[in-house]
Amino acid sequence: MPTLDPTRRELATLRAAIRHHEEQYYVLHDPEISDTEFDQLLRQLTALEAEHPELVTPDSPTQRVAGRPVDGFETVDHQVPMLSLDNAYDEAELTAFDERVRKGLALAGDEPVAYVAELKIDGLSIALHYRDGLLRRGVTRGDGVRGEDVTSNVRAIRGIPLGLRVAVPGDIEVRGEIFLPRSSFDKMNASRLEAGEPTFANPRNAAAGTMRTLDPALVERRQLGAYLYHLVEQTDPPWSRPQGHAEALDLLVAWGLPVDRHWQRCRDIGEAIEYCRAWADARHALPYGTDGVVIKVDRLSERERLGQTAKFPRWAMAFKFPAEQATTRLLRIEVNVGRTGAVTPYAVLEPVQLAGTTVQMATLHNAEDVARKDVRAGDYVLVEKGGDIIPKVVKPILGRRPTGDDEPRPFVMPTACPACETPLERGEEAVVWRCPNNQCPAKIRRGLLHFAGRRAMNIEGLGESLVNQLVDTGLVTDAADLYGLTTEVLTGLERMGAKSATNLMTEIESSKDRGFAQVLFGLGVRHVGEGAADLLAGRFGGLPGLLAASVDDMEAIDGVGPVVAQSVRGFLDDPRNRRLLDRLTEVGVRMTATRPHTVDAREQTLSGQTFVITGTLATMSREEAKRAIEARGGKVVGSVSGKTHGVVVGADPGSKLAKAEALGVPTFDEAAFRQLIMADR
Ligand code: IVH
């Protein structure tokens, strides 16, 4: 083992520590340190790497989100098609599967087949390619034959290592599932619901939607997870080839890849069926969604003999858990006022056990939906967990509807806001009713909770009951009022001791420095999610720049569409919002952009320079190299001319290298190029 100088040693130690904590958090769901401590480690590493740019490695945890959003995704072919799975819905179908397998293998009598049972992760499949231990590419399943190259987003998933723990030589491909943990899904949908935006039906759709975004920084913030379950067969691997699937999974773990640890080797189909029974309930306690169990023949030689149909392997079967439904009494229909004033009905239920939790409320979407399904207070209703998370009312059980005098009456949507009695108005999206009153206490409360939320100004301790008190006592009517609070005023509130008051004041004070993207997101401008707020803050640098920007200027940003641009302009043109922004500025809230999660605000060292990239780079894709140049203000063009400032040369360069040499254009090999894009002036 060569001895390392102290800096290299420190870098290696920090990187290993960060990787360890990424695994604890994102793979094992068992964090050993707080988020703040993790961020500190990451900041320490970023600072040390900034002092020694030549020591930055492509698999360093600082290299997850690099550059700006991508333009789009390239379509690429899968070398081995990505198959889907046949489904079984009950135990008899599993037994029939086992019989087919034993027949296919021509096994005698009751000779059993060994299986591996794994949880079926509710996400979207992904193929990861590593070369010499470094993550090279991530491709979605697509139609199974061709998928999209989503490498930039895959790199932003902290559960996926950028480099393997063991420097596995050559090319390997591993497949698995990308998913959104329940907690992230709940948070995401809650804020969408409040913003009057459509919610995602289940974590799978939410994960797929996230992977389609062009902004890796957003992917990182959504905290996706990944579990791998398939090592694609390699011809002549330099390591000893596993004989069974269980062994292959152990190999993946040894390489540092994320594997869901709940798999089990089963001696026969009976044990696999037991596994399905056990997990049908136990799964509800997991931090991520599973919609079934996948049962796979363990021995790889047996798999080979069984082969596949056009769509499915004959050696695997997905057992689907039954949908979780229950019937209960719908006691009342109430309405909720969201941050944007959207008034939506929800059902208050007689408590019922559903998918492992007690359910007392279910969404009813909107008034039209209630009328269409004819759901009434007093009905028995069928409730279901959509994607196993948010319960919804499926339908009334009409056969059990009381008759005569007790017959429930149809729901009538209130015409006035339940919180402030202002007549409701229909929004542009006809199905949503809104309270138009900007002083509506329900809207103010929701707005403040959003402003103080973790992903906005992150004011810890400012929860629902405190916000209610602050609004009800008239102490706070908007976000700027929060900054006028004092310890004395706070200690006068119910259940607020001196220590909590001081802590809250410290939190409020430190929130001033979060940066403009967080302010913009926190103010809850319609249609402006975290991603758009980040892009706008990054592009215009802060409030003054944004105020001067036209709708066209905003739309020129990739990832900002006309709806967002117009909404932002409308918000800024409203004098009341301008006053609020002025007051926030006066109390010292930072109105300039910071980029805590991305390395986008780089010095524009390549401003005005044009580059050409030729050949294959070992540590990054061409697209990544292009984005790195653009992040520095440079431009990438297709052909070399006398005006080209530099040519980046990878392996097997084309005629462009010869042309560059002939014209005397400087060339950069990969190491020199890395220095170029890392170095500040
Ligand atoms: S094995 C050829 N294992 O379920 C083997 N799939 O409904 C292919 N899935 O397309 C897949 N968890 O996206 C396998 N432990 C697991 C899985 C799993 C989730 C997904 C996968 C597949 C789909 C089929």
Condensed to tens digits (0 to 9), the pLDDT of residues 26-77 reads 999 889 998 889 989 999 999 999 999 999 998 999 999 876 667 778 999 9
The CATH 1.10.287.610 domain(s) of the chain lie at 2-63
Q: 228: CA distance to ligand 1 center in Å?
A: 10
- pLDDT exceeds 60 at position 218: yes
Instruction: List the structure tokens of 379.
Output: 């009905």
Q: Which of 119, 264, 294, 298 to mutate to test ligand 1, by most ligand atoms within 8 A of the CB atom?
A: 294
End-to-end alpha carbon distance in the chain: 36
Give the pLDDT confidence of 85-126 residue by residue, as tens digits. Answer: 999 999 999 999 999 999 999 998 789 999 999 999 999 999
Q: Which of 115, 174, 177 to mutate to test ligand 1, by most ligand atoms within 8 A of the CB atom?
A: 177
DSSP string, 246-269: HHHHHHHHHTT----TT-EEESSH
- Nearest-atom number in ligand 1 for the CA of 119 is 15
Instruction: List the structure tokens of 324.
Output: 């979780």
Superfamily of domain 2-63: Helix hairpin bin (1.10.287.610)
Q: 58: CA distance to ligand 1 center in Å?
A: 30
- In angstroms, the Cα distances linking 400 to 328, 329, 382 are 11, 10, 11
pLDDT of amino acid 668: 87
Is residue 479 within 8 A of residue 446, CB to CB? The reply is no
- pLDDT exceeds 50 at position 7: yes
Atom 18 of ligand 1: nearest residue by CA position: 120
pLDDT of amino acid 657: 87
Q: 122: CA distance to ligand 1 center in Å?
A: 9
Q: 3: CA distance to ligand 1 center in Å?
A: 44
Instruction: List the structure tokens of 463.
Output: 């929860």
- pLDDT exceeds 70 at position 430: no
d(CA 447, CA 424): 18
- Nearest-atom number in ligand 1 for the CA of 84 is 10
Strand ranges, E, within 71-190 = 75-77, 87-88, 115-121, 124-131, 134-140, 146-148, 171-179
Q: 84: CA distance to ligand 1 center in Å?
A: 7
pLDDT of amino acid 393: 92
Q: 28: CA distance to ligand 1 center in Å?
A: 20
d(CA 249, CA 263): 9
- pLDDT exceeds 60 at position 143: yes
- Band (pLDDT 50/70/90 cuts) for residue 239 is confident
- Nearest-atom number in ligand 1 for the CA of 122 is 19
pLDDT of amino acid 598: 37
The CATH 3.30.470.30 domain(s) of the chain lie at 75-320
Angle CA(334)–CA(340)–CA(344) in degrees, nearest 5?
20
Q: Span 650-659, mean pLDDT?
A: 86
The CATH 3.40.50.10190 domain(s) of the chain lie at 610-677
Q: Which of 121, 227, 314, 317 to mutate to test ligand 1, by most ligand atoms within 8 A of the CB atom?
A: 121
The CATH 1.10.150.20 domain(s) of the chain lie at 441-586
The CATH 2.40.50.140 domain(s) of the chain lie at 325-410+429-434
Atom 13 of ligand 1: nearest residue by CA position: 125
Q: 82: CA distance to ligand 1 center in Å?
A: 10
Does the predicted model carry a pTM greater than 0.75? Answer: no
Mean residue pLDDT across the chain: 89
We find that the CATH architecture of domain 75-320 is 2-Layer Sandwich (3.30)
Q: Is 120 a catalytic residue?
A: yes
Which amino acid is residue 161, in one-letter code?
Answer: P
pLDDT of amino acid 532: 87
Q: Span 618-637, mean pLDDT?
A: 79
- Nearest-atom number in ligand 1 for the CA of 318 is 7
- pLDDT exceeds 70 at position 429: no
Q: How far is CA 160 from the centre of its chain?
A: 13
Atom 7 of ligand 1: nearest residue by CA position: 85
pLDDT of amino acid 414: 95
Superfamily of domain 610-677: BRCT domain (3.40.50.10190)
pLDDT of amino acid 356: 62
Atom 16 of ligand 1: nearest residue by CA position: 120
- Nearest-atom number in ligand 1 for the CA of 124 is 13
Q: Pocket around ligand 1: residues whose beta carbon is below 6 Å from it?
A: 83-85, 118, 120-121, 125, 177, 229-230, 294, 313, 316, 318
Is residue 381 within 8 A of residue 326, CB to CB? The reply is no
Q: Span 563-567, mean pLDDT?
A: 93
137-173: buried (b, 16+ CB within 10 Å) or exposed (e) per residue?
A: bbbbbbeeeebbbbbbbbbbbbbbbbbbeeebeeebb
- Nearest-atom number in ligand 1 for the CA of 83 is 2
Q: 118: CA distance to ligand 1 center in Å?
A: 10
Any alpha helices (H) in 63-202, and if so which ranges? 91-104, 151-155, 182-194
Is residue 53 within 8 A of residue 29, CB to CB? The reply is no
- Nearest-atom number in ligand 1 for the CA of 308 is 2
pLDDT of amino acid 161: 96
| Burial (0-12, 13-18, 19+ Cβ within 10 Å), 1 | exposed
pLDDT of amino acid 389: 60
The pLDDT > 90 percentage for the chain reads 60
pLDDT of amino acid 527: 86
Q: 619: CA distance to ligand 1 center in Å?
A: 29
We find that the CATH architecture of domain 441-586 is Orthogonal Bundle (1.10)
- pLDDT exceeds 50 at position 351: yes
Helix axes 622-631, 670-678, angle to 10 degrees: 30
Atom 17 of ligand 1: nearest residue by CA position: 120
- Nearest-atom number in ligand 1 for the CA of 85 is 24
Instruction: Report domain 325-410+429-434's class.
Output: mainly beta
Per mean pLDDT, which range of 8-17, 174-183, 617-626 is the poorest?
617-626
Name the catalytic one among 103, 120, 187, 659.
120
Strand ranges, E, within 232-371 = 264-266, 290-297, 316-320, 325-337, 342-354, 357-363
Helix axes 562-573, 575-586, angle to 10 degrees: 80
Give the pLDDT confidence of 289-346 residue by residue, as tens digits. Answer: 898 999 999 999 999 999 998 889 999 999 998 777 899 999 999 999 988 888 989 9
**Phi and psi based region of residue 378 (left: phi greater than 0; alpha: psi -120 to 50; beta: remaining):** left
The residue whose two tokens read 């500190």 is 40
Atom 21 of ligand 1: nearest residue by CA position: 125
Q: Span 642-649, mean pLDDT?
A: 87
Q: Span 201-207, mean pLDDT?
A: 81
Listed in sequence order, the residues at least 6 apart from 26 whose beta carbon sits closer than 8 Å to its beta carbon are 157, 158, 159, 223, 225, 226, 258
pLDDT of amino acid 600: 41
- Band (pLDDT 50/70/90 cuts) for residue 386 is low
Give the pLDDT confidence of 461-501 residue by residue, as tens digits. Answer: 898 889 999 999 999 999 999 999 999 999 989 888 899 99
Atom 10 of ligand 1: nearest residue by CA position: 84
Q: 341: CA distance to ligand 1 center in Å?
A: 41
Q: Span 246-271, mean pLDDT?
A: 96
Give the pLDDT confidence of 596-608 residue by residue, as tens digits. Answer: 333 344 567 787 7
Q: Which of 82, 125, 202 to mutate to test ligand 1, by most ligand atoms within 8 A of the CB atom?
A: 125
Atom 9 of ligand 1: nearest residue by CA position: 120
